[in-house]
Chain A
Amino acid sequence: MINFTPEEKRVILFLLIIAFCGITLNNLAKLNYRVKKLFCPQVYLARIDLNKISLEELIKIRCLPVKTSQRIIAYRLQHGNFSSLEALKEIRGIGDQRYEKLKDIFFVE
Chain B
Amino acid sequence: MKRLPFSLAIFYCLGIILVSSIKISFWFVLGSGVITFAAACLSFRNNRIFMVLVFLLAFILGGLNLKNSYIRHNCHINNFVRYKDNTIYNLSGFIDSDPEIKGKHTFFVFRTQGVQVDKLMWRCCGKVLVRMDFPQDLNYADNLILRGILLRPYGFSPGSRSYRDYLSRQGIYLVMPIKNSLQIIPQLNKGGSRLIIFSLWLRSRMEQVIKRYLADLPAGILSAMVLGQRRAIPWLVNNYMVKSGTVHILVVSGFNVGIVAFIVNLLLKIMRVRRKLRIILTIICLLIYCLITGASNPVIRATVMGVVFLLAHLLKRDADIYNCLACAALFILGLNPRQLFDVGFQLSFSSVLAIIYLYPKIKSFLCLDNCKAKALKFIYEGCLVSLCAWFGTMWIIAYNFRIVAPVTVLANILVVPLATLITLCGFSLVLCGSFSTFLGGVFSTTTAMLITLLLNINSAVIKIPFAYFYF
What is A's interface to B at a CB cutoff of 8 Å? 2, 4, 7-8, 11-12, 14-15, 18-19, 21-23, 25-26, 29, 38-41, 45-48, 61-63, 100-101, 103-105
Contacts and interface: CB of A to CB of B under 8 A. Distances in A.
B211 to A, nearest CB: 15
B452 A46 contact: no
B444 A22 contact: yes
Contacts of B332: none
Contacts of B272: 2
B441 A100 contact: no
Given A22-B444, A22-B445, A47 B234 contact: yes
B40 interface: no
B215 interface: yes
Interface stretch (B181-189, B262-270, B289-297, B381-389): B262-270
Contacts of B234: 46-47, 104-105
B236 interface: yes
A55 B272 CA distance: 63
B235 A23 contact: no
A22 B442 contact: yes
Contacts of B266: 8, 11-12
A8 B266 CA distance: 7
Contacts of B456: 45
A105 B236 contact: yes
Interface string B208-248: 00000001011000000000000000111101000000000
Given A22-B443, A39-B446, 15 more contacts: A2-B270, A15-B424, A18-B442, A22-B442, A26-B442, A40-B215, A41-B215, A41-B218, A41-B451, A41-B452, A45-B217, A45-B452, A47-B234, A62-B239, A62-B470
Contact of A100 (B103, B217, B442): B103
A25 B445 contact: yes
A18 B446 contact: yes
Interface residues on chain B, size class? 20 to 34
B116 interface: no
- In this complex, which of A15, A41, A103, A105 has the most chain B Cβ atoms within 10 angstroms of its Cβ? A41
A14 B424 CA distance: 9
Nearest to A24: B445
B397 to A, nearest CB: 16
A18 B447 CA distance: 9
A8 B269 contact: yes
B415 interface: no
Contacts of A7: 262
Contacts of A101: 103, 235
Contact of A104 (B235, B445, B459): B235
Interface of B: 103-104, 215, 217-218, 234-237, 239, 262, 266, 269-270, 272, 424-425, 428, 439, 441-446, 448-449, 451-452, 455-456, 459, 470
16 contacts: A18-B425, A22-B442, A22-B443, A25-B449, A26-B445, A29-B445, A38-B452, A39-B218, A39-B449, A41-B218, A41-B452, A45-B217, A45-B456, A48-B236, A63-B239, A104-B235
Contact of A15 (B270, B428, B444, B459): B428
A14 to B, nearest CB: 7
Contacts of A38: 449, 452
Nearest to A20: B442
A4 to B, nearest CB: 7
B236 A25 contact: no
Nearest to A96: B104
A18 to B, nearest CB: 5
A41 B425 CA distance: 17
A80 B155 CA distance: 41
Given A11-B266, A45-B459, A100-B103, A21 B446 contact: yes
Contacts of A47: 234, 236
Contacts of B217: 41, 45-46
A11 B431 CA distance: 15
Contacts of A104: 234-235
A84 B442 CA distance: 37
Given A14-B424, A41-B451, A100-B103, A26 B237 contact: no
Contacts of A25: 445-446, 449
A96 B367 CA distance: 59
A14 B39 CA distance: 59
Contacts of B443: 18-19, 22
A39 B424 contact: no
Contact of A46 (B237, B442, B446, B448): B237
